A and B are shown apart, each in its own frame.
Chain A
Amino acid sequence: AQSVTQLGSHVSVSEGALVLLRCNYSSSVPPYLFWYVQYPNQGLQLLLKYTSAATLVKGINGFEAEFKKSETSFHLTKPSAHMSDAAEYFCAVSDRGNTPLVFGKGTRLSVIA
């Protein structure tokens, strides 16, 4: 069964600093990978996805993620944090069939002025 591990349930960064949220997956074949963001009292919104095209994926709001097969990782980064980035971020994986998305436990990002 697939699984996703997000290292760090809470990450705190200063405004303008690099954001790095970690995600590792377990899958025997390269899966589809997703990052979602959840703002307070809202549903989940797709940030970006990897579906076996370019390994560096650019998403909305200046976020990007790099798929590294050798490390089974799909870490999310943003060069300069903004106050509006404060939210909960979820990494998710699915295999290549029409199968459920499996989510990590989430990482809450705080941005300090």
Chain B
Amino acid sequence: EAQVTQNPRYLITVTGKKLTVTCSQNMNHEYMSWYRQDPGLGLRQIYYSMNVEVTDKGDVPEGYKVSRKEKRNFPLILESPSPNQTSLYFCASKRGGGTEAFFGQGTRLTVV
């Protein structure tokens, strides 16, 4: 089954404790991205990657890191999480220009 898999689904952590949210897709898509969803703000892009070893900042990259060492994986790293990073995070992948994006189920992160 074609899918984007994120883990974990739920995470509560403390300020400053490094964490990684994993994302994996099995569709051989070149393009992957991370979004955060906040009430009243819709989905805002954090980082995206157009291919292996190619990443670029989205609209809200501060406080996040990503890597794309393999085509299927695109982890999101929070080196020192802060409470303002409490949010619902989505990973997405797509084949290329003009194609639909496939989304993971989301990761609800709470930073206390």
Chain A residues lying within 8 Å of B104, measured Cβ to Cβ, are: 43
What's the minimum C-beta distance from B2 to chain A, rounded to whole angstroms? Answer: 12
Q: Is the interface of A mostly helix, strand, loop or mixed?
A: loop
Q: C-beta contact mask, A69-91 vs B, less than 8 Å → 1, else 0?
A: 00000000000000000000010
Task: Tell me the complex Cα distance, A105–B41, Å.
Answer: 5
Q: Does B27 sit at the interface, judged by CB under 8 A?
A: no
Q: Does A56 sit at the interface, judged by CB under 8 A?
A: no
Residue from B42, B97, B103 in contact with A96 in the complex, judged by beta carbons closer than 8 Å: B97
Q: Which residues of B are interface residues toward A (Cβ below 8 A)?
A: 4, 30-31, 33, 35, 40-45, 48, 50, 58, 90, 92, 94, 96-98, 100-101, 103-106
Task: Tell me the complex Cα distance, A98–B98, Å.
Answer: 7
Q: Which residues of A are interface residues toward B (Cβ below 8 A)?
A: 9, 32, 34, 36, 41-46, 49, 51, 90, 92, 94-106
Most chain B beta-carbon neighbours within 10 Å: one of A90, A92, A100, A103: A100
Task: Tell me the complex Cα distance, A43–B34, Å.
Answer: 13
Q: Is A94 within 8 A of B45, CB to CB?
A: no
Chain A residues lying within 8 Å of B103, measured Cβ to Cβ, are: 36, 43-45
Given contacts A98-B50, A98-B97, 13 further A-B contacts (CB under 8 A): A43-B90, A44-B92, A46-B101, A51-B98, A90-B42, A90-B43, A94-B97, A96-B97, A96-B98, A100-B45, A101-B45, A103-B35, A106-B43
